[in-house]
Amino acid sequence: MDENIAQKLRNVQTTAIYLFFLPFEPNELTKRYGFIKFDENIDDTTARLSQYIGLSLNTNATTVVKFMQKGWLLPKPDLIISITGGAKNFDMSTRLRKIFQSGLVSAAITTNAWLITAGTNAGVVKEVGEALNKYRYKNRKNDVDVPCIGIGNWGYTTENEQLDCQSTTFSIDVSTTKEIPPSMRHHLNKITHSTRMGNDDQYAVGHYTVKEKQEKRCDLEPNHTHFLLFDDGQPNADTILPLRAEIEKYCRNRSIDTATDGAIESLIPIVMVLVEGGLSSIRTICEALDSNTPVVVIKESGRVADLIAELHTYYTESTNGNDNVYPTRLQTCSAKSGSKETKINKILTKAQATITGLHEVIDNLCQVLHERKQLVTIFKFDSNRHHGNLEDAILESLFNATKFSDDHIERNRRTAELKLAIAWHKFNYTQKYLLTDTKISKWKEDDLHRTLVDTLHRGHVDFVELLIEFGTSLEKLTNGDLKQLHATTLTNNRLPHKGKEKMLYDNTNKNNNFLLLDDNMSLGKGAPQELFLWALFLNRLKLATYLCSKTWNSLVASLFGALIYRRAASLELDVDIKQ
């Protein structure tokens, strides 16, 4: 474990210096990065560590995202879920809390998502942290963690001095770092060898313990995996909101180095989830809707969430085509009782009692809700619409965003919607609305090809059958596709293997001819058997059974599969798994 931490720290340090600090003198290099151990038992070597970095509030958002990808080596997500809302303690019913927590984690796991929050140990962010903690406890044998990134204010963080580095020198060898041009390596070596990393051991692991709460400050939530803490010299949590919005915007680029504004195919879907909330939440929601980010509002969670849910219901149910009532103020209305202005003012007057400063944002809120109401999805846990499934509400909001998007390329909207349907395994929806006899002609062969690879990766047999039914061919998959499947598929449930069986499966072996194959060459007639073996060793029985039926000799293939399973059973110690 220690060497793993050291390697991560070397990577963080190299990337941080290269991206943020190369033009500066060595003594100006930040000392604020490393690992945090939240466990109060400082001798516990098994406690999970979080990574953090402290930066100036003026740091460019694009550079921050590059650091997240290259320094922290965060895997590219298929979805970004941004959570906003109540920053302090608030009341949420036990049932709603359970539904929110389980639905959020389920959506994140299903879609390979990043979670982004304010990182504070209070309010809705604390609920997110507890949800992640419950998931980790129930899945201790599953070595999969949901990236949860807290974007907060350094000065607002309680006892941030614990995160300041203090003593140990930690030098790195930059000569082997391909990212850094040779012309810069001499200067960079000078910097890194004079950098002093703060820690209480050689791996820069700092212990973070807050014994007393501080007024107008908040401690970090311990279940987050990463923290970006921005310093502007002020202990004000709201100062980082514009930068957070920019970071979330650039996180959507799958490849930050090559993506350009307007490159629709590179964008990752994003959704914002609102729970309760105050004045800053309204500003955040307005910015999100202005940029066509869909929003899921948790009704009955309180304050801003309930206000937006009520206003949204009013605007949605209005049938008057000339309904332009959105700019309004909290004032006595001279219109007739029952008019639109009066109804809206009643809603806002009621909300003013619990939302301080509401008058500052009323006009903008009402206008954006009126114009972008299609992007707002209201989740009520006891409604028939979503049957208590928060993940269904998130999926609906993402579908709505693809229809409402200003993107002029219809192809990219269809592809994004299909990818989401596959991630959530919404087969009936796909069969009814996306892949139909009337719409199949609009699909490009390459899009369906990529979709087939994604479907195999997720193991959805029904989707594989549907795609093949509409002309997508296993035989046209390439060696590169097969390598991708071997490299990216989670391996927790692989069959146990050793000796010859291990060599047969272990395609990452440097001496294996598998790596030397031309990535662009199609698998041809051997595709079903190659994919059958891949599914077999990953213990995906349903998918392996289906692929077995597509091999040139399914009888031999099934006997071969049975032999592999028998040998795997002989290696397995767990009685239930053996059976």
Q: Which domain holds residue 529?
A: 473-578
Distances (CA, A) of 304 to 279, 281, 282, 365: 8, 7, 7, 11
pLDDT, tens only, 166-216: 433 444 454 545 555 555 555 555 544 444 444 444 556 778 888 778 888
pLDDT, tens only, 17-68: 777 765 544 434 456 888 888 865 444 445 678 999 999 899 999 999 999 9
pLDDT of residue 183: 53
Residue 566 maps to a domain: yes
> Which is more confident, 406 or 207?
207
Residue 78 maps to a domain: no
Mean pLDDT calculated for residue range 525-543: 91
pLDDT of residue 499: 55
Question: Strand, helix or coil at 466?
Answer: helix
Q: What is the mean pLDDT of the chain?
A: 79
Least confident interval from 30-39, 217-226, 485-494, 566-575: 485-494
Residue 221 predicted with pLDDT over 50 = yes
pLDDT of residue 498: 66
Residue 413 predicted with pLDDT over 50 = yes
pLDDT of residue 362: 87
Task: Please say whether the beta carbons of 547 and 528 come within 8 A.
Answer: yes
Q: How far is residue 56's CA from residue 244's CA, in Å, rounded to a whole number?
A: 13
pLDDT-derived band at 153, boundaries 50, 70, 90: very high
Least confident interval from 28-32, 384-388, 532-536: 28-32
> Which is more confident, 448 or 46?
448
CA 495 to chain centre: 29
Share above pLDDT 90 across residues of the chain, in percent, rounded to a whole number? 31
Question: By C-alpha distance, which of 270, 375, 361 is closest to 315?
Answer: 375
Question: By C-alpha distance, which of 144, 379, 380, 432 is closest to 271?
Answer: 379
pLDDT, tens only, 465-505: 999 999 899 999 999 999 888 876 655 567 876 655 454 45
Residue 28 maps to a domain: no
Residue 241 maps to a domain: no
Residue 502 maps to a domain: yes
pLDDT, tens only, 263-315: 334 578 899 999 999 988 999 999 889 888 999 999 989 899 999 999 998 88
Residue 532 maps to a domain: yes
pLDDT of residue 258: 42
Question: By C-alpha distance, which of 328, 375, 364 is closest to 347?
Answer: 328
pLDDT-derived band at 361, boundaries 50, 70, 90: confident
Residue 134 predicted with pLDDT over 80 = yes
Mean pLDDT calculated for residue range 221-243: 91
Q: How far is residue 210's CA from residue 439's CA, in Å, rounded to a whole number?
A: 58
Task: Please say whether the beta carbons of 399 and 417 come within 8 A.
Answer: yes
Question: Strand, helix or coil at 527?
Answer: helix
pLDDT of residue 506: 53
pLDDT-derived band at 152, boundaries 50, 70, 90: very high
Residue 408 predicted with pLDDT over 50 = no
Question: Strand, helix or coil at 173?
Answer: coil
Residue 156 predicted with pLDDT over 80 = yes
List CB contacts of 153: < 8 A, sequence separation 6 or more.
229, 230, 231, 232, 234, 235, 236, 237, 239, 240
Q: How far is residue 568's CA from residue 495's CA, in Å, rounded to a whole number?
A: 6
pLDDT-derived band at 548, boundaries 50, 70, 90: very high
How deeply is 300 buried, as exposed, middle or buried, from its count of CB atoms within 10 A (0-12, 13-18, 19+)? middle
pLDDT of residue 332: 36
Give φ, ψ of 435 to 5 degrees.
-110, 90
| Rg of the chain in Å (alpha carbons) | 26
pLDDT, tens only, 114-128: 999 999 999 999 999
The domain tally of the chain equals 1
C-alpha atoms less than 13 angstroms from C-alpha of 463 in its C-beta half-sphere: 26
Highest mean pLDDT among 67-71, 139-143, 165-169, 352-356: 67-71
Residue 344 maps to a domain: no
Residue 297 maps to a domain: no
Residue 248 predicted with pLDDT over 50 = yes
pLDDT, tens only, 302-327: 899 999 999 998 888 764 444 554 44
Question: By C-alpha distance, which of 93, 116, 130, 109 is closest to 391?
Answer: 109
User: In the chain, what is the straight-line distance between the N-terminal and C-terminal CA atoms, in Å?
Assistant: 33
Element (H, E) at 196: strand 196-197
pLDDT of residue 230: 94
